[in-house]
Amino acid sequence: MPQRESISPLPDDSDVAVGDAIRERYKLARKWAYQLCNSTYVPLSQSELEEQLRDMIDQFVAALRAEPVDTAVADQLTDHLVALNCAHTVCLRYTVDVLGRGLLLSEQLRDVDRLGEKVVSLLGAVAASYTESIRRSVFRQQEEVEQALIIAVRDARWNLKASEARFDEVATCSSSGIVITDLDGRFVRANHSFGRIVDYTTTELAKLSLFDLVHPEEAPYVRESYQAVLNGEQERFRHGQRLVRQDGELARVSLTATVLRDEYDQPQHFVTVVEDSTELKLLQNELSRQALHDVLTGLPNRQFFTTHLESVLRRADPAYGVTLYHLDLDAFSLITGGLGRKTGDLLLIAVAERLKAVLAAEKAMVARFDGDEFAIVVENSPATPDVISMVTAINDELSEPVYIEEHGVAATASIGVVDRPPRTMEPAELLRASDMTLRRAKNNGRRQWELFHPEQHDRDRRTFSLAAAMPGAWENGELTVAYRPIVRLTDKEIVGTEAVLRWDHPEYGLLCDDQCMQLAEETGLILALGPWLLRMACERLRWDRVTPLSVNLTAQQSADGDLVGQVGKVLRQTGMPPERLWLGMPVKALLADKGEAMDNMRALADNGVRTVAVDFGGTSGDMVCVEDLPLQAVRIAPWLTARRLVPGSPVTHSLLDLSSLVHLSGTQVIVEGIDSEEKAQWWRNAGADYAQGALFS
C-alpha cells in the first residue's frame, strides 16, 4: 500500500485570509479523512481526500440551512463515499460520528432553528441512503461477476484459468458477501466476506445450504423467492433477511440473487450477493434512541414526552384522567457551582432513578427536559395516590441525601401540577399550562407546589402576553409618561410631581404604573425603559426650577451598576438640578445581600440627588435603612395605607408611632393611595408629611 502523504497544515491567519467558518471546515474535514483512511483503503492522497470532504461539508451546511432540511444531499454523499471504497459500516459509523458532533457544535450553524432535529434527520437520511448506495455498487459488482462467470463458462476451453482468476479478484476485493450455490441452495463457492458475516469457514459452508442459514421463520419465503427466480417469474430476488450465525447470533442482511445460466441458457447456479446491514441497523436504532432520549439520564426527552402525552390524553380513562407533574430542582445551580458540573450530573442521574422508583407502581412516564427540569405524566387509576400524597412522596424521596464523592447532596423540587386536564387539550397547551403553574410555585419559595387553575392560567397568559408585547409597544409609542401630584398634608399644597409610566393598550385599555413597571422588571426591559422614563420626565419639567420631580426605581434598576452614571448623564443633558430629583428605591432591594442598591443610593446622595426608601413597612430592617442611609423620605408601603384601620388594634398603634420614629432621624414620611378625606385626616394626625392618591388627582 502506498505511504500516505503527511497531513496538510491548517491555513494560518498570517498566510491565508480565512474566516473562522473555513478554519472550522478544515478541522472537520481533516478529522473525517483521518478516520476514513484508518478504516479502509482510499485511492486518494490525504490532501485530495480532505478537499473532497470539505466540499461535502459545505453541501451539508447548505442542506441544514434549508427549510425543510434538504436530505437529497445524503444520496450524493453516500454515492461518493462508496465510490471511494468506503463501503464498510465502520466508515458509516465514523461519518455519522464526525458529522454529528461537528455540525451540532458548528459556530456557523448556531443560528439554525431546531439544529439538533435537523442533524439527526440528515444523518438518518445518510444511514438510509448508505444501504442504497452500497446496493447500487453491489449491483455493478454483481454484473461484473455475472459477466465474468459467463465468460468463464463460455470460454472455459480457452481461458478457464484467467476467467477464474478474474472472478476470484472481484469476489475477494468485495466488501459484500458473494456466494455461488447450486439450484438446491448448496454452497459451491463463497468469498471471505460472506464467511465473516455468518462466522463459518469455507470448509464448514461446503456441508450446508444457504437455506440452512436463513432464520426458520423466513426460510419458506426465501425458498419460494429463489424458485420464482429459477422459473423466470422475476429477474432477481432482493430482500432483507435474518441469517443465523454459527454462534447463534442473528445477522441482518440484504440478499440479492440471480440465476447463472450456461451457454445453452439453462439455469446452472444461483449467484447471491449478501450485504451485511447488522451494524447499520444498530446504528439507525441508536440514532433514533438518541433523538428521543436524554443522553445523561436515559429518560425520554421533551420531544418523546410530548408525543407520548398526545396518545395518553386520547386513551385516558374518562373517570380518572391523567395528571401532569412539572418539576424544577431547587438551588441546583448552587450545587453545580459549589461542587462542580460532574456532581450536578450525578445528582441528575440519581434524581431520575428516584423519580422512577416513586412512580414504579403507576402507569407513568418520567422525562427529563432541559437542565434541571423533569416531567411526569401519570395515567390515573383507582389506586393512584392523590396529588398531595404524590407531591409529598416525590419531595420526601428527593430530600434524602445522595452521597457523591463524600458529599451528601440532596435536592428538593418545586412542582407545577395539572390534574385531569380535558382530553381535547393539546399537548403543547398542556405543557405551557404546567410551565406557568411551575413558575407560580417557584415564586412561593423552595419545595412548593401549585395546582393549575384555569382562571389563574388565563391571568398568567395575559400577563406573559403583555410582557412579550411591551418592547414593541414602547417602539410604537404606546408607552407614555404621566405625572401625579405630591401634596403636603397640612395644607394640601402641591409640593412635588411624580413621573409614572402609562400604557394605553389597544385591547386592555390603560395600564397603570405598577403593572407597567412589574412587566418591565420581569422581562429585563426596565434597564432600558427606566433611563428613558427619567430622561422624558426631566426634559418635561426642566422649565420648572422649583417643583421637585419624584421617580421610583425597581429592584433591578436600584442594583444596576450603571445607575449612578446614567442618572448623572440625564441630569447633565437636561439641565435638571440634582437636588430637585427624588429617586425612590425599594426597601427590599436596599436590604439585599450584595448591597449594590445601598452603594448606589449613597453615591447618588453624594451627588446631591434626594433619595427615598419605597415600600417602607416599619420593620426593624426598614428602620436600619432610616438610620444608616442618607434618606430624604420614606414612602409607606401601599398595602399599609390600604388597610382598614381599627382603633386600638396593634397595627393601628404601630402606624401611629411610625412617623415619629422616622422623624427622629430627620426623614420625612410620604403616604400614597389616599382616596378619602377621612384617610387623609388620619395620616395627618399620625404625623405623615406628604401624600398622593385619587383624592388629590
**Judging by beta carbons within 10 Å of its beta carbon (0-12, 13-18, 19+), is residue 349 exposed, middle or buried?**
middle
Q: Can you give the pLDDT at residue 688? A: 92
**pLDDT winner (highest mean) among 46-50, 385-389, 500-504:** 385-389
Kindly state whether residue 334 falls inside one of the protein's structural domains.
Answer: yes
Q: Which residue has the cell 392523590?
A: 386
Question: Mean pLDDT throughout 671-678?
Answer: 90
Of 397, 427, 452, the one marking the end of a domain is: 452
DSSP string, 332-383: HHHHHHHH-HHHHHHHHHHHHHHHHHHTTTSEEEEEE-STTEEEEEEE--TT
Number of domains in the chain: 4
Q: Percent of the chain beyond pLDDT 90?
A: 32
55-104 tens-digit pLDDT: 888 888 888 788 887 777 878 887 888 778 777 777 777 777 888 777 77
218-253 tens-digit pLDDT: 889 989 999 998 988 888 888 888 898 888 888 888
Kindly state whether residue 76 falls inside one of the protein's structural domains.
Answer: yes
Kindly state whether residue 537 falls inside one of the protein's structural domains.
Answer: yes
**Residue 42 confidence (pLDDT) above 90:** no
Kindly state whether residue 292 falls inside one of the protein's structural domains.
Answer: no
Q: Are 58 and 25 in contact (CB under 8 A)?
A: yes
Kindly state whether residue 160 falls inside one of the protein's structural domains.
Answer: no
Q: Are 299 and 367 in contact (CB under 8 A)?
A: yes
The helix, strand and coil proportions of the chain, stated in percent and rounded to the nearest 5, come to 50, 20, 30
533-577 tens-digit pLDDT: 999 999 888 777 678 999 999 999 999 999 999 999 999 999 899
Question: Mean pLDDT throughout 40-58?
Answer: 83
Task: Give me the amino acid identity at 90.
Answer: V
Residues 306 and 378 placed together within one structural domain of the fold: yes
Q: Can you give the pLDDT at residue 508? A: 81
396-424 tens-digit pLDDT: 999 998 888 878 888 899 999 999 998 88
Q: Can you give the pLDDT at residue 358? A: 95
Kindly state whether residue 564 falls inside one of the protein's structural domains.
Answer: yes
Q: Can you give the pLDDT at residue 16? A: 42
Calculate Rg over the CA atoms of the chain. 38
Residues 412 and 310 placed together within one structural domain of the fold: yes
DSSP string, 83-116: HTT--SHHHHHHHHHHHHHHHHT-GGGTTSTTHH
Higher pLDDT, 335 or 282: 335
Q: Are 554 and 530 in contact (CB under 8 A)?
A: yes
Kindly state whether residue 150 falls inside one of the protein's structural domains.
Answer: no
Question: Mean pLDDT throughout 435-442?
Answer: 91
Residues 502 and 629 placed together within one structural domain of the fold: yes
Least confident piece of the model among 16-20, 24-28, 174-178, 659-663: 16-20
**Residue 173 confidence (pLDDT) above 70:** no
Helix (H) or strand (E) holding 390: helix 387-398
Residue 204 belongs to domain spanning: 176-282
**pLDDT winner (highest mean) among 167-171, 389-393, 677-681:** 389-393
Q: Are 210 and 243 in contact (CB under 8 A)?
A: no
DSSP state, 200? -
Task: Give me the amino acid identity at 150.
Answer: I
Question: Mean pLDDT throughout 472-488?
Answer: 89
Distances (CA, A) of 429 to 419, 425, 588: 14, 7, 35
293-330 tens-digit pLDDT: 888 999 999 988 998 998 899 888 888 999 999 999 99
Residues 109 and 184 placed together within one structural domain of the fold: no
Of 79, 106, 137, the one marking the end of a domain is: 137
228/222 Cα distance (integer angstroms): 10
**CATH number of the domain within which 194 lies:** 3.30.450.20
Q: Which residue has the cell 412589574?
A: 518
3-class SS of residue 242: strand
89/281 Cα distance (integer angstroms): 10
Residues 614 and 673 placed together within one structural domain of the fold: yes
Shortest CA distance to 434 belongs to which of 374, 492, 496? Answer: 374
**Residue 12 confidence (pLDDT) above 60:** no
**Residue 4 confidence (pLDDT) above 60:** no
Kindly state whether residue 346 falls inside one of the protein's structural domains.
Answer: yes
Q: Are 60 and 80 in contact (CB under 8 A)?
A: no
Q: Which residue has the cell 426605581?
A: 553
Residues 535 and 582 placed together within one structural domain of the fold: yes
State the helix-helix crossing angle for 526-541 and 563-574, rounded to 10 degrees.
30
Residues 539 and 610 placed together within one structural domain of the fold: yes
CA of residue 516 relative to chain centroid, distance: 30
C-alpha cell at 247: 454462534
Cis preceding-peptide flag for 68 (omega within 30 of 0): yes
**CATH number of the domain within which 445 lies:** 3.30.70.270
**Residue 362 confidence (pLDDT) above 90:** yes
Residues 311 and 370 placed together within one structural domain of the fold: yes
Average pLDDT over all residues of the chain: 84
Residues 476 and 622 placed together within one structural domain of the fold: yes
**pLDDT winner (highest mean) among 78-92, 459-473, 489-503, 586-600:** 489-503
Of 282, 311, 329, the one marking the end of a domain is: 282
DSSP string, 435-499: HHHHHHHHHT-TT-EEE--HHHHHHHHHHHHHHHHHHHHHHTT-EEEEEEEEEETTT--EEEEEE
Question: Mean pLDDT throughout 495-524?
Answer: 85
375 dihedral zone (left: phi>0; alpha: psi -120 to 50; beta): beta
Distances (CA, A) of 99 to 31, 102, 262, 290: 10, 5, 48, 15
Residues 521 and 426 placed together within one structural domain of the fold: no
Residues 333 and 409 placed together within one structural domain of the fold: yes
Q: Which residue has the cell 384555569?
A: 454
- Going by pLDDT thresholds of 50, 70 and 90, the confidence category of residue 373 is very high
Handedness of CA 163, 168, 174, 180 (dihedral sign): positive
Residues 589 and 478 placed together within one structural domain of the fold: yes
Q: Are 241 and 214 in contact (CB under 8 A)?
A: yes
Q: Show the CA angle centred on residue 107, arms to residues 105 and 110, nearest 5°.
A: 85
Q: Can you give the pLDDT at residue 570? A: 94
- Going by pLDDT thresholds of 50, 70 and 90, the confidence category of residue 8 is very low
Question: Mean pLDDT throughout 355-365?
Answer: 94
Q: Can you give the pLDDT at residue 5? A: 41
